[in-house]
Amino acid sequence: MCMNYGRRVERLQRLMGDEGLRAFVLYTRENLMYFTGFDRYESTAYLLIPLDGDPILYVTRLDYQRVLDEAFGCRVKRCRSPLNTLSRDLTALGGASVGVDDLPSSTYIKLQATRRVEFKPSDRVVWRLRSVKEDEEVRLIREACRIACAGMEAVWEALRPGLRECELAGEACREMMRMGSEEQSFPTIVASGPRSAYPHGGCTRRRLRRGELVVVDLGASYMGYKSDMTRTFVVGRPSDRQVEAWRASLEAYTRGLKAMRVGVRAGEVDREARRVLEERGFGRFFIHGLGHGIGLSVHEPPYITRASGDRLSRGNVVTCEPGVYIPGFGGVRLENTVLVSRDGVEELTRFPMELC
């Protein structure tokens, strides 16, 4: 893999200087991967990036050898308690401001016992880097998207009345893992019938029935990078109302995609797509934002919502996912992962958007 972790650290250090931070403490799995290549998974580990000098990765004995083999551009400290060792080292900064990412509240409270240091939640500093993808990151996301399309193909081939939602999800997961996905981006959603009106419907033992809508939302993870896509199917012949909701969603998707370009406010993109659904009489049934960034995390900036002040930049990878959710009737959602480029956008998930 051709990631330049040292360059990422140097860029963060420049931003830290602008923010008046003497150091940065990183904890999240995704941030450790971004700056060192080490996937802590469920392990305990902390990364300290000083304003000057090399990063230090604090790990337990259980992970020490794996870190030596897998991490790049950092010194490694083997500790009985990584958090206690980190806290002691921070006291040497004496009165400095230290940025932190999305730490668990219990960890943040323990760190605050280091009274000689002022901690500042500074996620936005890291996101200024992570939200704009490097070429190698885009390559990995493309592969995650290709694998996700294979998972959706497995769903399409297996779709039939009588199959349980969880069985259909299993077909997708099996194919994605077979194609090289280390894990799912998130638990696969297969929501059928009235349950398709739940945006986060998960999957149950409910059996698919002829004439029902089925919303399938899935994603693959490749070398840590995620994909996200949704399709809506009908088991059998769709009703006029189902077709109407699906066509409105497709038009909203197309309008939203057309509005995505470098420099545009994300809120305006959301409004363009939402306007279509309002014109078609489905506006009140679109109950979430149009999309979100995706990369090492499945939900990350920029956020494409009505209230978002984010502006799209070249290198953003985002989703476009308008939906219609009618209680008691069912739901429709169409979603692709897309890359914002100099000339517009490129759809990275390309499975056909057919209803049946």
Delineate the domains of the chain, giving CATH numbers in brackets: 5-130 (3.40.350.10), 135-347 (3.90.230.10)
Q: What confidence tier does 267 reach under pLDDT thresholds 50, 70, 90?
A: very high
Which residues sit opposite 335 in a β-bridge?
230
Q: So what's the pLDDT on residue 64?
A: 96
- Angle 268-189-260 from CA coordinates, rounded to 5°: 20
pLDDT above 90 coverage of the chain, percent: 91
Residue 335 and residue 321 in contact, taking contact as beta carbons nearer than 8 Å: yes
Q: So what's the pLDDT on residue 116?
A: 77
Q: So what's the pLDDT on residue 209?
A: 97
* Type of residue numbered 123: D
- Cα–Cα distance for residue pair 347/352, rounded to 1 Å: 12
Closest-CA residue to 218 (of 244, 179, 248):
179
Tokens of 122: 């500074």
What's the average model confidence in pLDDT over 9-21? 96
Residue 292 and residue 311 in contact, taking contact as beta carbons nearer than 8 Å: no
Closest-CA residue to 196 (of 246, 142, 248):
246
Q: So what's the pLDDT on residue 1?
A: 56
User: pLDDT, tens digit, for every residue of 157-191?
Assistant: 999 999 999 999 999 999 999 999 999 999 999 99
- Cα–Cα distance for residue pair 104/196, rounded to 1 Å: 33
197 Cβ partners below 8 Å, 6+ apart? 191, 325, 326, 327, 328, 329, 330, 331
Q: What confidence tier does 143 reach under pLDDT thresholds 50, 70, 90?
A: very high
Residue 106 main-chain phi, psi, to 5 deg: -65, -40
Q: So what's the pLDDT on residue 92?
A: 84
- Cα–Cα distance for residue pair 256/251, rounded to 1 Å: 9
What's the average model confidence in pLDDT over 14-27? 96
What's the average model confidence in pLDDT over 227-245? 97
3-state secondary structure of 184: strand
Q: What is the mean pLDDT of the chain?
A: 96
Q: Is the dihedral of CA 299, 303, 304, 305 positive or negative?
A: positive
DSSP 297: S
Q: What confidence tier does 25 reach under pLDDT thresholds 50, 70, 90?
A: very high
User: pLDDT, tens digit, for every residue of 269-321?
Assistant: 999 999 999 999 999 999 999 999 999 999 999 999 999 999 999 999 999 99
Residue 55 and residue 74 in contact, taking contact as beta carbons nearer than 8 Å: yes
User: pLDDT, tens digit, for every residue of 201-213?
Assistant: 999 999 999 999 9
